[in-house]
Each structure stands twice: as C-alpha cells, then as structure tokens.
Amino acid sequence: MSVSDQQVIQHESYMQDTPRGLSGGVLLVMQWMVGTILAFLIGSWLVWFAINLQRQFAEDEIRAACQRVMPETVERCVDTVILQRGGARR
C-alpha cells in the first residue's frame, strides 16, 4: 500500500465521521451558536439570582431594624421603608 492510498483512506474516513453530513465549518458555527446562547442564558440567570439575593438581604436588614425600633408595627414599617427607598409594593 502506498502513501497516496493511505491519504485517500484517511480522507474518506474523515468524511464519514461528520454527523448528519454537516461540513466541519457548519458544525463549528452551530457549536458556537449553542455555546453563546447557553452562556447568555446562564449569565442572565446569575444576574437575576444576584439581584434577587441582594434584595432579600436588604429586606431582611430593614425588617430587623424595624423589629428593634417598632416591634408592634413591623410590617407597616417595612413597607414604608421599602417604598421610601424606591422599591415596589409587595
């Protein structure tokens, strides 16, 4: 078997390995697109989670301060402070 025969065999086996007949360039673009979309979704979820966690910690601090100052009207105090800080009503 000569060197040129080996090259033909390797080239044919490479062409058969690509799934669904997609060329290497199209497959690479698809992988990049899927990876980019996944990175965007994971990043968006992490930002949402961080904002939600920060909001929860701030509300817990407000609730603790209201409990110390006005134990009889904690919910009213919390609502007032959150509204004064520009937050939304619960």
> Which of the two residues, 84 and 9, has the higher pLDDT score?
84
> How does 46-79 read in b/e, with b if 16+ C-beta sit within 10 Å?
eeeeeeeeeeeeeeeebbeebeeeeeeebeebbb
State the Cα–Cα distance between residues 87 and 89, nearest whole angstrom.
7
Q: From the CA atom positions of the chain, what is the Rg in Å? A: 30
Write out pLDDT tens, residues 26-67.
Answer: 999 999 999 999 999 999 999 999 999 999 999 999 999 999
Region 63-88: mean pLDDT is 89
Rounded to the nearest integer, the mean pLDDT of the chain is 83
Angle between helical axes of 24-69 and 74-84 (0-180°, round to 10) = 130
Could you give the percent of the chain with pLDDT greater than 90?
54
Query: Where in the chain are the domains?
Result: 22-84
